[in-house]
Amino acid sequence: MRVVLGISGGIAAYKTPDLVRRLRDIGADVRVVMTPNAARFVTPLALATVSEHGVIVEQWGDPERGGVDHVELARWAELLLIAPATANVLAKLATGIADDALTTYALAHRAAVVVAPAMNTFMLQHPTVQQNLATLRARGVVVLDPDSGLLACGDEGAGRMPDPPAIAEFVKHHLGAKDLGGRSIVVTAGPTREPIDPVRYISNRSSGKMGYALAEAAARRGARVTLISGPTSLTPPAGVDVERVTTAQEMRDAVMRAMPGADVIIKAAAVADYAPAEAAASKIKKEASGEALTLALRRTPDILAEIGALSPKPFVVAFAAETDAVEANAREKLLRKNADLIVANDVADASIGFDADQNEVLVIARDGTATKIARAPKIVVANRILDLLAK
């Protein structure tokens, strides 16, 4: 594995010597490119020592040796990993500015790119930063969502660079053997919406982030992936076939169309359990309905149970979003729906619940064994789930 580690000028740069060591532990050959501001937080000498290669800080290279460093490096690299990626560097990557060695190299780089944003939580939430991240994702850049917690500035929230072991683990899967090659995997993600009238609907809370992360990770590990997505604001992963649906019935029909030839189905979607028995053709007026409105509800299709009853059936990975008795409820659902694995998470914990960028789950198999996956960015959790699936 040939990795260029780009380091920009944030406090999280102090973690990068450990990150280099972790990358080397998984078999990566690491070359470092730093911005001048990054050198204020960690010395090039420290990084040269742990990487056993010279470190590029200046844009113009070595005039005595000749050659153009960023072009030569681009021919060599399999991955550009920028960690930490500051708001400044993300903006330059999104707009094509090349005013230092790192951003100049980024324009020459033609292989995979991964960025690990790290900054104050209010900076991270700024619309411009979010727009730049969306632009990069649309170009196929993988974004490792930052951790949440106490930041160096004293604020608390999202913005911490993921720990070096988690980043190294992601890189291992990203560049490692395609252990799901030849497999066909169907992933469902996001919520469904069941119309009450043309402007109102019943839905379940779901951002779709976990399902999208699973689809992305499976595709990068060589699988042919079909992502069946309810309404979300997420950018679909590269290399994945996407079918968009709205209602539970539409999701059921799309899943059944995708089933022939599927080896695995991962049911990460939050499908509404009930829908209005009859949707009104026009908007229901408050004045006409009075102080109270009674809705008659019907059950929606139980997609998971229908798949579990098939013979033969694909390998089924179910999800259980629980607020209490998480393990007990998940074990009961695993057996009742005839799934092969079930992934349970405690959505009562807001830090790993709806819309969170991190997750922490318990994966239970048919034989009763349970594996806890510790809190990590959802793309890392996705790869750990796929490790268990691959076994």
Distance in angstroms (rounded) separating the CA atoms of residues 379 and 62: 38
Residue 146: what are its φ and ψ, rounded to 5°? -70, 155
Q: Which of 152, 153, 335, 348 is the catalytic position?
A: 153
| Of residues 147, 233, 245, the one with CA closest to residue 193 | 245
Residue 26, C-beta contacts closer than 8 angstroms, at least 6 positions apart: 1, 168, 169, 171, 172
Is residue 57 a contact partner of residue 93, using CB atoms and an 8 Å limit?
A: no
Q: Is 193 a catalytic residue?
A: no
Residue 219: what are its φ and ψ, rounded to 5°? -65, -40
Strands 274-276 and 297-299, bridge-based pairing = antiparallel
Residue 158: what are its φ and ψ, rounded to 5°? -70, 145
Distance in angstroms (rounded) separating the CA atoms of residues 362 and 367: 14
Neighbour count for residue 124 (Cβ, 10 Å) = 20
Tell me, what DSSP letter sits at residue 349?
A: S
- How far CA 335 is from CA of 63, 136, 263, in Å, comes to 68, 42, 20
Active site residues: 153
